[in-house]
Structure 1
Amino acid sequence: MKWLKNVKLEVGNQISEDGLIETKTDFFHLGINEGKLVEQRHYSKNVPEQDEVIDANGLLAIPTFKEMHNHLDKTYLSLDWKACKPVKNLKERLAFEAQELSDLAPSAKQRAMSMIEKILSNGSTHIRTHVNIDPYIGLKNLEGVLEALEEYKHAITADVIAFPQHGLLRDDVPKLMREAMQNGANMVGGLDPAGIDRSIEKSLYETMEMAIEFNADVDIHLHDGGHVGYYTIDKWMDFVEEANWQNRSAISHAFCIGEVPEIQQKALAERLKENGVAIMSTIPLTKSLPPIELLDDHGVNVHLGCDGFYDSWSPHGNGDVLEKVQKFAQISRRSEEVLLRESLKWATGGITALTKDGEYRWPKIEDDASFIFVDASSSAEVVARRPYRKAIMKNGEMVYGSLSESFEYIK
């Protein structure tokens, strides 16, 4: 038995003197056994002296994050600095990346480990990574990424997606994709059935056939915009329904949903909800956003990710999914306590400490003992101010940082 004492948790709503909702917190001692929360005591009670005790020093505990759209194989991290090479168009960018990734292949594990460390330090204990599978790199990047993830298996869980960056319907890519699925990838990826593969139905059909063959979930990059992208998502859900593949797929980026009339957005949101198709967004500054709040209101699962960062596509980014939440809160003008607090769900996979009405919901007995520790008064402050993540615990074990430094603790 292990005890985590003096932990600040959010416990409900309280009304301030000027009538505004604030978040009420209190302090607890949390009993942990075999990675699970098994007991929760108010701070006024003692903990057994014979058990291992870790003092959280009054820090706020929030759920760990999920980085749900990433490319561990592409980063320059751990290498010398270099900005992006200028190119004239997407075709040139893809050609340059193909050449570069071949040159970078020997350092795939090293670079991926550096990226994992960065993402972990920001509080994510799950990473969904797309890994290039193409005629230029074969399975080399996959091998390096899997080796890197093995090094961090104590701290990180992962979805590893076989990603046809240069198109699924070309050369030996379908064969290579199947080899990737046989050698460690556990999800099937796709990319722009119209813009890259030039055949929406054929591309989606091949993607679903592969998913069925390997009993795998699917995540499709979709940059195709407007009505073309809308049609692509709508057609994908036809395949989902025909294959009974509900709750097993996601569309990443999905700018197109925000580029069609609202009546179509709502109709598509209903189908997404019915088929359990999630939307992954990186909250880009240069593209249309999918209507996240509308999708959320319709019960569609929305997750955020940082995409690739510091690579041949962009020198920007830091692997902090909380920054993505903060950016969306700014864009959507979420400035009230409850709206800020609720926004954290897009980083945690839907988990929040409180409901909108202030009802306590996390952590509860039998939940995983996985926490981020921050010096903050509430989740709302965490979203608005993005405090330093002091320490991260995964299933009862510290996997990053330390709680050893003292913090002022007021009972």
Structure 2
Amino acid sequence: MTPDLSRRALLGAGGLAAGALGLTAASGQARAAAKPVAGAVYYLRNVRLETGFERDGDDIAATRTELRTLKIDKGTIAAILPVSAAIPPGATVHDAGGLLMLPSFRDMHIHLDKTFYGGPWRAPRKRKGGIAGQIQLEHKLLPEMLPTLEPRAEALVALLQGNGTTFARSQCNVDKVIGTKHVEKLKAALERHNADFGHEIVAFPQHGLVSIGLEETMRQAIRAGATHVGGIDPTAVDGGMKKSVDTMMQIALDEKAGVDIHIHEPGESGVAAINRITDITAKNPVLKDRVTISHAFSLMSLDKPAAADMAARLSAAGVSIASTVPFGGRVMPIPTLQAGGVKVFTGTDSVVDHWSVFGSGDVLEKAKLACQLYGWSDELAIGQALKIPTGGITPLSPSGEQLWPKAGDAADCVFVAAASSAEAVARLTPRQVVLHRGVVAAGAFPKRT
């Protein structure tokens, strides 16, 4: 959740406009469409894949596609065959109807545990007392919402699946009011979707870590099923950068967990925290590629050379950035981070809750927003923006080499009626079928007559 200092001071009042669906409609639609068959072996005909670019001189004019047949075996793309390939007698066959297949999406920053989604409309209360006021509100609100946490989280999962997301890293409150109960309940809800949805859980100390003596409870949360240790603005909220960061990192090392910390702090204090986290990660190779800075708004304050230097440090240490692609007076240096080799993820953060009600649960929107912010306006640049919702995967390299899918890849796919990745990003093409490990998570293949 993004506190006042980010939403108001940095981003202004703007947000991505999107409505929330009701619990009955959302969950009912997803369950009616989904027919999970874990471990199935089947063939999928008439799958449209991107195979290269059509060029006009030095310019890329369009994306070339071809139809293929795929063999799906126990959640893996076992073979990619010509569309006319003979299929063994008695094999199960489905038809993709010429839909374009893209990698499915990953929502790497969302709060599944405290959402109003699935219930009656409820706008946030007018904020009083800044972050402290919001924390005080949670002291009252979270116990009231606890009994319905699981169905609300599952309704939100259904929304994500319908938008093409098959994996989420959820921030999950750990605090003095509810202890580890959110982690336990969210873990139970997500495990019911192991066949059609992947997940990680961050133990998130929204109300503070060292400032409220939460260290032991955080360790208990990891043992209860959280995969990552979280943190919150070490200087602005937790009362001491070095102690806050060091405690978080030590818990992760002791509990063999990853790290994902909210840093909304602008300017020097945020940069100092990122530098300290990066230094500790570099000194502990076991943490490489297991540490994420969420939001990282302080990077907006860096000039281009400083941002490039930061990107080099983050990349060398294996520290990733999870950005919600904010917009306002300043813009995140995502192109500089990517050019420096930093893994940049995205997430939808709040969808509808007591912090914000403007989320759609669609990470493809983040790719479109990035195109608008950074001037990615041609076929190549728009198509490469697909890296943002997929966690770095694109069907084609910038040179036109086919990167995905390959035999052996997980059958995590989204099917759309689009000519290319670029059209899917630019037009937010509806996702017609979504597969997670070969299981239909949402939608249905077109019926053939």
Please point out which of 328, 332, 344 is paired with 2:374: 332
CA distance in 2, matches of 1:260, 1:360: 35
Aligned with residue 142 of structure 1, among 167, 171, 183: 183
Alignment of 1:319 with 2:361, yes or no, is yes
Matched residue, 2:326: 284
The DSSP-based 3-state class of the residue aligned with 1:116 is helix
Confirm or deny that 1:163 pairs with 2:230. Answer: no
How far the C-alpha of 1:263 sits from its partner, in A, is 2.2
- CA distance in 1: counterparts of 2:331 and 2:314, whole angstroms: 16
> Match of 2:70, SS?
strand
Q: Which residue of 2 aligns with 1:26?
A: 66
CA drift of 1:45 comes to: 3.1
2:170 aligned residue (108, 129, 133)? 129
Q: 2-side partners of 1:20 and 1:185: how far apart? A: 45
Which one of the candidate residues 260, 263, 273 is aligned to 2:305?
263
Asked if 2 retains the 8 angstrom alpha-carbon contact of 1:133 and 1:163, the reply is yes
Q: 2-side partners of 1:17 and 1:391: how far apart?
A: 36
1:8-407 map, 5 Å: 8-15=48-55, 20-88=60-128, 89-244=130-285, 245-286=287-328, 288-405=330-447
Instruction: Please say if residues 255 and 288 of structure 1, whose CA atoms lie closer than 8 Å, have aligned partners that are also in contact.
Output: no
Note the C-alpha offset of 1:210.
0.2
Q: Distance in 2 between matches of 1:158 and 1:53?
A: 29
Offset, 1:118: 0.7
Partner of 2:26: none
SS at match of 1:170: helix
**Cα offset for 1:82?**
1.0
TM-score, normalised with respect to structure 2: 0.88
Whether the aligned pair in 1 keeps the contact of 2:197 and 2:441 (CA below 8 Å) is: no
1:121 is aligned with what amino acid?
G
Tell me how far apart the structure 2 counterparts of residues 284 and 59 of structure 1 sit (CA, whole Å): 32
1:44, CA displacement in angstroms? 3.2
**Does the aligned pair in 2 maintain the 1:340–1:384 contact within 8 Å?**
yes
Q: Write the deviation string for residues 120-144 of structure 1: whole angstroms up to 9, x where unpaired.
A: 1111111000100001111221122
CA distance in 2, matches of 1:114, 1:198: 36
Q: Structure 1's 287 and 92: CA in aligned 2 closer, same or farther, altered over 3 A? A: farther
CA contact under 8 A between 2:326 and 2:332: conserved in structure 1? Answer: no
Q: What is the rounded CA distance, in whole Å, between the counterparts of 1:42 and 1:362 in structure 2? A: 16
The 2-side partners of 1:348 and 1:210 are apart by 29
**TM-fit CA distance, 1:17:** 9.4
Alpha-carbon contact 2:53-2:62 (below 8 Å) kept: yes
Q: 1:323, 1:78 → 2: CA distance?
A: 21
- Work out which structure has the larger RCO, using CA pairs closer than 8 Å and 6 or more positions apart in sequence: 2
TM-score, normalised by the number of residues in structure 1? 0.96
Output one character per residue of 1:6-36: Cα deviation in whole Å (capped at 9) or x when no partner.
Answer: 0000000112599642100010011121221
CA distance in 1, matches of 2:448, 2:325: 36
Give the SS at the match of 1:11: strand
Asked if the contact 1:255/1:287 (under 8 Å) is kept, the reply is no
- 3-state DSSP class of the match of 1:179? helix
Q: State the number of aligned residues.
A: 407
Change (3 A) 1:285 1:19: closer
Q: Secondary structure at the match of 2:280?
A: helix
Taking a change above 3 Å as real, the CA distance of residues 17 and 57 of structure 1, as seen in their structure-2 partners, is farther
1:404–1:22: structure 2 CA closer, same or farther, 3 Å change rule?
Answer: closer
CA contact (8 A) 1:135 1:172 kept: no
Q: CA RMSD in A?
A: 1.6
Contact 1:256 1:288 in 2 (8 A): no
Task: Describe the superposition over 1:323-380 as per-residue Cα deviations: whole angstroms up to 9, x where unpaired.
Answer: 1111111111111000011010111111111000111111111111221010000000
What does residue 6 of structure 1 align with? Answer: 46
What is the one-letter code of the residue matched to 2:352? Answer: Y
8 Å CA contact 1:68, 1:128 repeated in 2:
yes
Q: Separation in 1 of the partners of 2:178 and 2:369?
A: 34
Q: Distance in 2 between matches of 1:314 and 1:237?
A: 30
Runs of 4+ more than 6 Å apart: none
Q: Deviations over 1:44-98 (max 9, x none)?
A: 3332342100000000000011000011011101211111100132221221123
Greater shift in the superposed pair: 372-381 or 327-336: 327-336
What amino acid is aligned across from residue 87 of structure 2 in structure 1? V
Sequence identity (%):
36
Check 1:288–1:215 CA distance in 2 against 1; reply closer, same or farther (3 A cut): farther
Question: Matches of 2:127 and 2:72 in 1, distance apart?
Answer: 53
Any gaps of 5 or more consecutive residues in structure 2? Answer: 1-40
**One-letter amino acid matched to 1:197:** D
Larger mean Cα displacement after TM superposition, 343-352 or 17-26: 17-26
Q: Secondary structure at the match of 1:51?
A: coil
**Letter aligned with residue 236 of structure 1:** I
